[in-house]
Amino acid sequence: MDIATIVQVLESTLRLATPLLFACLAGLISERAGVFDIGLEGKMLAAAFMAAAIAFVSGNVWIGVAAAVGVSVVMALIHGVASITFRGNQLISGVAINFLAAGITVVIAQNWFRQGGRTPSLSGDARMQRIDLPFAEALRDVPVIGPIYHGILSGHGLLVYVGLLCVPLTWYMLYRTRFGLRLRAVGENPAAVDTAGVSVIGLRYGAVAICGVLCGLAGAYLSTGLSAGFVKDMTAGRGFIALAAMIFAKWRPWHALGAVLLFGLLEALANRFQNIDIFGLALPVQAMQALPYILTVVILAGFVGKAIPPRAGGSAYVKEH
> Looking at this protein, which amino acid is placed at residue 215?
C
284 Cβ contact partners less than 8 Å away, ≥ 6 residues apart: 275
- Spatial separation of the C-alpha atoms in residues 201 and 218, rounded to whole Å: 26
- Spatial separation of the C-alpha atoms in residues 270 and 283, rounded to whole Å: 11
> Looking at this protein, which amino acid is placed at residue 285?
V
**Which of the four pLDDT bands, split at 50, 70 and 90, describes residue 292?**
confident
Q: What is the pLDDT of residue 6?
A: 87
Quote the Cα angle for 70-267-67, to 5°.
10
- Kindly state the greatest CA–CA separation across the chain: 69
* C-alpha pair distances (Å), 159 with each of 215, 224, 277: 12, 10, 35
- Spatial separation of the C-alpha atoms in residues 169 and 159, rounded to whole Å: 15
Give the CA dihedral 200, 203, 208, 211, nearest 10 degrees.
Answer: -140
Predicted TM-score (pTM) of the model is 0.94
- Spatial separation of the C-alpha atoms in residues 208 and 98, rounded to whole Å: 16
Per the model's pLDDT, the better-predicted residue between 300 and 160 turns out to be 160
Q: What is the pLDDT of residue 270?
A: 81
pLDDT tens for each residue of 161-182? 999 999 999 999 999 999 999 9
pLDDT tens for each residue of 206-254? 999 999 999 999 999 999 999 999 999 999 899 999 999 999 899 999 9
Does the pLDDT value for residue 71 go beyond 90? Answer: yes
**Which of the four pLDDT bands, split at 50, 70 and 90, describes residue 277?**
low
Per the model's pLDDT, the better-predicted residue between 278 and 224 turns out to be 224
- Spatial separation of the C-alpha atoms in residues 210 and 173, rounded to whole Å: 12
137 Cβ contact partners less than 8 Å away, ≥ 6 residues apart: 150
Q: How many other CB atoms are found less than 10 A from the CB of residue 282? A: 10
* C-alpha pair distances (Å), 224 with each of 126, 165, 182, 284: 8, 20, 35, 30
Q: What is the DSSP letter of 260?
A: H
Q: How many other CB atoms are found less than 10 A from the CB of residue 3? A: 9
- Spatial separation of the C-alpha atoms in residues 226 and 179, rounded to whole Å: 33
- Spatial separation of the C-alpha atoms in residues 53 and 288, rounded to whole Å: 32
Q: What is the pLDDT of residue 274?
A: 62
- Spatial separation of the C-alpha atoms in residues 191 and 248, rounded to whole Å: 28
